[in-house]
Structure 1
Amino acid sequence: MHLSDERFLELFRVGKSYVDAYGSSLNVVEDFDLIVRKGEFVSLIGHSGCGKSTVLTMIAGLNSLSHGNIAVAGRETSG
């Protein structure tokens, strides 16, 4: 099987922060980088609460980025 060098998904310094009830910032994802090329299979593995679902919802556009950039098939979104 030949994998393409073409990048399909790129995350660069992606981060997500929330403000708690006391006004303090809580970083749930910080400076996350990932490159997935066409034909690759990727899994996000980690303990409960580490930000896996948050990263996936940011990729899907269901959750905004606090900072960083995401490009899917060459279309870029930024925080």
Structure 2
Amino acid sequence: MVTPVRVVIALCLLAPFVAMLWVGSYAKVDPAFIGIPFFYWYQMLWVLVSTALTMVAYQLWQRDQRARKTRTGGAAQ
């Protein structure tokens, strides 16, 4: 069943893949950050962003599962 919450979860999990697979968007040297070329610090930034997005997706999934159990009276689905 597709719900808005599940779409948000999917987008949270898909965004890091799209960002990292679209190499042309970050395959450059400038702007450098504290002497680190853009190519490297952009990827490191996505490590942190991916962690945050995964945590958000997990929390939304847990809330969705609790709500489904409540709606169905605790029956497993």
What TM-score results when the alignment is normalised by the length of structure 2? 0.28
Structure number with bigger Rg? 2
Give the number of the structure whose residues are more often strand, by fraction: 1
Give the number of the structure whose residues are more often helix, by fraction: 2
